[in-house]
Amino acid sequence: MPLTVSRSPEVAAAQARGGAVVALESTLIAHGLPRPRNLEVARDVEEIVRRQGATPATIAVLDGTVHIGLTDVALERIAGEESLAKLGIRDLPVALATGGSGATTVASTALLAARAGIDVFATGGLGGVHRGGGYDESADLAALAATSILVVCAGVKSILDVAATLERLESLSVSVLGYRTDAFPGFYLTDSGHPLDWRIEEPAQAAAVFTARRALQPGAVVVAQPLPVGEQLDPLLHDRVLADALVAADADGIAGKAVTPYLLENLHRVTGGESLRANVRIIERNAELAARIAVALIDGAALDGAPIHAVPLDTARPAPS
């Protein structure tokens, strides 16, 4: 059966004129933020993209049809329908074949965006390798390895095994850039404690790296943008709440894909909304940067003499001049 795709009038017009478009995931709206705040944030984020000269394309599957860009009515449905499924790549064929509906994850949003000719995608944090050992990792990683797209994020969720996730991204040959940072962000935290090999300073540099990556082979470029120190969740509070939540999850028999939402709910509840505040700021900032990169990609903006440089990780591996 052919894939049924519906572009919103705004996205269709932008692509017809060769304008910049930014993909946005719908799972963040449907499952990542509390109601009714989720709808407010979704509308605000789309407007942030527009203010930077790009067109937002929130992606979802509704009644067996892939939607690239949502009308406000569809956005309300995504935000308000509590039974809406969470659709990873493995779930897409089932939803499409049966007329189902669902919100798309990082992996499925990246896939559908690339198939729709969209090069830039803004999200909050990537999935990754889960804590506790064993083979349990997000489908986001394999999807990024196979998909030509630039993803702006705040690193991976701090409830994950960040070191193992970075190792997997390296093994999968996913290009990772720090945006004005030498350290990989920890989602709620400015610095995860893990260094990065590459740093960029301007959106045009990210666009140039993606152009070069696409010319070489399929695969994603991840642009990791941290929260400013003054906007991050208090690190001591974060670490204490996470440690307590991990113990509680084990005691409650929480395992597999149920662990992440369990830990996040604990963070939201115990921090009195501070984690939600940080989460919203992450989404807003990443949408703004993604839109600027998308515009730079369309414009073919010059690098203005600002070199992309390596971050020296030790004395045996100096940065290139």
Please list the active-site residues: 25, 157
The conformation of residue 312, written as its DSSP 8-state character, comes to: P
Q: 179 and 140 in contact (C-beta within 8 Å)?
A: no
Three-class DSSP category at 177:
strand
Q: In the structure encoding, which two tokens stand for residue 87, read together?
A: 């659709």
Contacts of 198 (CB under 8 A, 6+ apart): 175, 176, 177, 178, 308, 309, 310, 311
If you write DSSP's letter for every residue of 50-81 in order, what string do you get? HHTT-EEEEEEEETTEEEES--HHHHHHHHH-
Q: 145 and 151 in contact (C-beta within 8 Å)?
A: no
From the list 43, 97, 107, 31, the residue with the least C-alpha distance to 66 is: 97
